[in-house]
């Protein structure tokens, strides 16, 4: 059997897992210099050279040369280039370097591989990823040397890990993934010894995660500093965010709060400072989005609403679980390895059964192959164009007031600016008279330039699609 690894490239951290032949269980590879089962998702671009440092090595450069460090690349995959130290590189180049390094290290350090580099990789990805992001990851993995590339939806991976490791018994589960860059939710039903996404309730999410909470805490720290210290902090934001993340995670694990050293000053955040930031920047967003999604789930699920499985590092945030149970009126489940659920569940054979199989009849082909994020899990992607699953046969409802064009990967708002989508209609008053903006642009350029409903109305879109977008 060829060597296979699973990689979870996160906004803040990157993890790798593999199947231990002796135990038959997935194991985390100790990637970090401190024997951590992860490395920071950081990259360092050395000035006036082609050199790039990754992970812990990049983090070590925060003290010496913070201007050269690139963070939160997962949020920048759609950008043409990222810049640091007067250099610009493509996200594809950085992802290729990272995946190549992980492939080499696993071959060298995992005894079960016998010195051979992995040929197959299972990359866990958000279920709401669009075609362009999925394509970039597949291309990066192919250029890194993998001959088979599988994209596993993160909710499916997390549910598999829960089923295999925590003996989950529910017939259905709502996975609530609290990551560094987003919070994502998805409803899955058990299918024999596996889980499938439920097409009637497409995955959704919110663009807020642990990283945004770190920034909120940093803003509160800066409020305690004088202007002279703030001037010293310019250009050291990534370093400060890393320090704040450590304090936040210690607090969420019940450990004593320690002073932060920011710009040569020691600052001590109080428990009330931290908890008010949690409530304002994260917990409220999480509960509001999940509550709306659970209403959709209830409409198509059995009389007993499925439990909510909390996974991801930010699921440990103090007060989150209690707020979800109170505000959403649901049962929550969690287990001690929930922080690593997606990468553990991404390992082939980690669950009772694995569905990802490479396409194409010739299994001996050496050129990089890949499987799109799809399903059997019925994620709405270009290879799954049935009008039963897509609005107007083309648009995927993201569950957050936006739709994604599966042909182009573009995302469109269902409502005008200033309005909010409430289940089946737009509410509120438009803050901008978008007709006054769009009409002159349309006349000048003959194309839709703004992702608002009025623009869709002017473009060549069928009346059936317009009805679906507004009513469904």
Whether 252 is in a domain gets the answer yes
Whether 385 is in a domain gets the answer no
Mark whether 10 and 142 lie in a shared domain.
yes
Mark whether 36 and 105 lie in a shared domain.
yes
CB 12 within 8 A of CB 41: yes
Mark whether 23 and 153 lie in a shared domain.
yes
Mark whether 249 and 144 lie in a shared domain.
no
Whether 162 is in a domain gets the answer no
Mark whether 276 and 425 lie in a shared domain.
no
CB 124 within 8 A of CB 177: no
Mark whether 249 and 297 lie in a shared domain.
yes
Mark whether 248 and 279 lie in a shared domain.
yes
In angstroms, the first-to-last Cα distance of the chain is 47
CATH code assigned at 267? 3.30.420.40
Whether 384 is in a domain gets the answer no
Whether 390 is in a domain gets the answer no
Mark whether 197 and 293 lie in a shared domain.
yes
Give whole-number Cα distances, 377 to 188, 234, 303, 311, 382, in Å. Answer: 8, 46, 22, 19, 14
Whether 379 is in a domain gets the answer no
Which range marks the domain in which residue 443 is found?
A: 395-471
CB atoms within 10 A of CB 437: 16
Mark whether 286 and 329 lie in a shared domain.
yes
Helical ranges in 110-149 per DSSP H: 131-143
Compute the C-alpha angle 165/167/172, nearest 5°: 115
Number of domains making up the chain: 3
3-state secondary structure of 124: strand
Reading the chain (472 residues) residue by residue, the pLDDT tens digits are: 468 999 999 999 999 999 988 888 899 999 998 899 999 999 999 999 999 999 999 999 998 999 999 999 999 999 999 999 999 999 999 999 999 999 999 999 998 898 999 999 999 998 778 888 999 999 999 999 999 999 998 988 998 898 887 776 778 899 999 888 888 899 999 887 788 889 888 888 877 888 888 899 988 888 888 787 777 777 788 888 888 888 898 888 889 888 887 767 788 888 998 999 999 888 988 899 899 999 999 988 877 789 999 998 888 898 999 999 999 999 999 888 888 999 999 998 665 543 443 333 333 333 333 333 443 332 333 333 333 345 655 566 666 677 776 555 566 777 777 677 655 567 677 654 444 544 544 444 443 434 433 334 333 333 333 333 333 2
């Amino acid at each position: 059997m060829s060597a296979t690894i699973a990689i979870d490239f996160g906004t803040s951290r990157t993890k790798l897992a593999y199947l231990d032949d002796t135990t038959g269980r997935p194991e985390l590879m100790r990637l970090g210099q401190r024997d951590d089962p992860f490395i920071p998702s950081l990259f360092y671009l050395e000035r006036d050279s082609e050199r790039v440092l990754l992970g812990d090595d990049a983090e070590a450069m925060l003290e010496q040369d913070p201007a050269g460090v690139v963070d939160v690349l997962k949020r920048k995959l759609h950008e043409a280039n990222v810049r640091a130290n007067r250099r610009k590189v493509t996200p594809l180049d950085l992802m290729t370097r990272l995946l190549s390094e992980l492939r080499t290290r696993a071959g060298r350090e995992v005894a079960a591989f016998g010195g051979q580099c992995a040929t197959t990789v299972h990359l866990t990805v958000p279920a709401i990823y669009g075609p362009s992001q999925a394509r970039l990851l597949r291309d990066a993995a192919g250029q890194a040397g993998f001959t088979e590339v599988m994209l596993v939806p993160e909710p499916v991976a997390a549910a598999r890990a829960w089923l295999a490791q925590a003996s989950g018994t529910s017939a259905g589960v709502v996975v609530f993934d609290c990551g560094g860059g987003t919070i994502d939710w998805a409803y899955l039903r058990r299918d024999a010894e596996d889980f499938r996404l439920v097409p009637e309730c497409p995955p959704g999410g919110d663009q807020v995660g642990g990283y945004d909470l770190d920034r909120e805490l940093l803003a509160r720290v800066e409020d305690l500093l004088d202007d002279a210290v703030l001037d010293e902090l310019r250009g050291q934001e990534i370093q400060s965010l890393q320090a704040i993340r450590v304090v936040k995670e210690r607090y969420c694990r019940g450990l004593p709060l320690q002073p932060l050293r920011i710009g040569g000053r020691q600052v001590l955040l109080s428990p009330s400072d931290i908890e008010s930031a949690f409530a304002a920047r994260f917990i409220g967003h999480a509960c509001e989005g999940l509550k709306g999604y659970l209403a959709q789930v209830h409409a198509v699920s059995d009389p007993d609403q499925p439990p909510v499985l909390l996974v991801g590092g930010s699921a440990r945030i103090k007060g989150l679980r209690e707020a979800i149970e109170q505000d959403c009126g649901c049962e929550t489940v969690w287990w001690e390895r929930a922080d690593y659920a997606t990468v553990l569940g991404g390992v082939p054979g980690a669950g009772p059964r694995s569905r990802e199989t490479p396409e194409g009849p010739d299994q001996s082909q050496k050129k990089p192959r890949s499987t799109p994020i799809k399903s059997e899990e019925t994620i709405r992607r270009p290879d799954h164009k049935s009008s039963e699953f897509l609005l107007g046969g083309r648009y995927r409802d993201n569950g957050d007031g936006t739709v994604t064009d599966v042909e182009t990967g573009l995302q469109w708002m269902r409502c005008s600016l200033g309005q909010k989508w409430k289940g089946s209609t737009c509410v509120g008053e438009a803050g901008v008279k978008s007709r006054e903006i769009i009409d002159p642009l349309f006349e000048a350029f003959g194309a839709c330039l703004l992702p608002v409903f009025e623009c869709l109305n002017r473009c060549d879109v069928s009346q059936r699609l317009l009805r679906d977008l507004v009513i469904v």
